[in-house]
Amino acid sequence: MKIISYNVNGIRAALNKGFIEWLKSANPDVICLQEIKATKEQLDVSLFEEAGYNYHYWFSAQKKGYSGVAVLCKSKPDYIEYGTGIESMDFEGRNLRVDFGDISVMSMYLPSGTNDARLTFKFNYMDEIKDYLTALRAKRPNLVVCGDYNICHEEIDIHNPKMRGVSGFLPEERQWLGEFIDSGFIDSFRYLHPELQQYSWWSYRANARANNKGWRLDYAMASEPLKDKIKRALILTEAVHSDHCPILLEIEN
């Protein structure tokens, strides 16, 4: 199973930058999108269907033009779960899960901490989603949670490790991500590439992408029972439809 995760920073903008042609070339079985900033009704879904993704699921934020996640699939899932049932998270459209047999794949968009209020919201979300996923793994042990976590875990994951006072690299955020992994997840990219320094997000300012001054914010976290089934984990830096780039996880199904 070839899974791609991509924060598109607006699916309509990405479509205007050649997203469909790239999707056909990348050819994943499942693609998880974050920050779609649109509703299904605002999109020409035939574009995705013509690319081979007849099964597509959209979970948008209540606020127009904001947040939202989606999952596009080549095969029909056995089950789709919109959100988590936790209202404090679900109104912003941040979680969508599809199940194929005994494997579950979730698209997750963890909040950013752009100001004090949003940082408080982020920490609350982090606590709630960790508890939610711990309970979910008891029922669905073969779980992939991929998406934009808005956190760099280690110094190797950020171009400037001195940015410890900035949300995304705060000690508390990094500790939470470490504990999240220790609770039973594998950072698939770091598992296969322990010393490779690559990023998945670059600021639009100061020519950051051209200078490769980036952050690794996007992860394909696989639960421990899938460890021996992880075949490939890549960051697809050549895709340029967003300020993020996609990440890929291939698991033996």
Q: Return the biggest CA–CA distance within the chain.
A: 46
The token pair at 28 is 């994943």
What is the distance between the alpha carbons of residues 33 and 36, in angstroms, rounded to a whole number?
7
CA distance 99 to 104: 4
Task: Quote the CA–CA distance of 22 and 54 in Å, as a whole number.
Answer: 17
Tokens of 245: 């780039």
Please state the φ and ψ torsions of residue 78, each to the nearest 5 degrees. Answer: -75, -25
- Which of the listed CATH numbers 3.40.50.300, 3.40.120.10, 3.60.10.10, 3.10.450.200 matches domain 2-251? 3.60.10.10
Q: What six digits make up the tokens of 49?
A: 């269907």
How many other CB atoms are found less than 10 A from the CB of residue 23?
24
Burial class (CB in 10 A: 0-12, 13-18, 19+), 52: middle
Q: Decide: pTM greater than 0.95.
A: yes
* pLDDT digit string, tens, across residues 55-100: 999 999 999 999 999 999 999 999 999 999 999 899 999 999 999 9
Q: Where are the beta strands (DSSP E) in the chain?
A: 2-7, 30-34, 55-59, 69-73, 79-82, 95-100, 103-109, 142-148, 185-187, 201-202, 214-215, 218-223, 230-235, 247-251
Domain extents for the chain?
2-251
Active site (catalytic) residues: 148
- Number of H helices and number of E strands within the chain? 7, 14
The 3-class SS string of 124-140 reads HHHHHHHHHHHHHHHHC
Give the pLDDT confidence of 131-179 residue by residue, as tens digits.
Answer: 999 999 999 999 999 999 999 999 999 999 999 999 999 999 999 999 9
Reported confidence tier of residue 249, pLDDT bands at 50, 70, 90: very high
Angle at which helices 116-139 and 171-182 pack, to 10 degrees?
A: 0
What is the model's pLDDT at position 253? 82
The per-residue pLDDT of the chain, averaged, comes to: 97
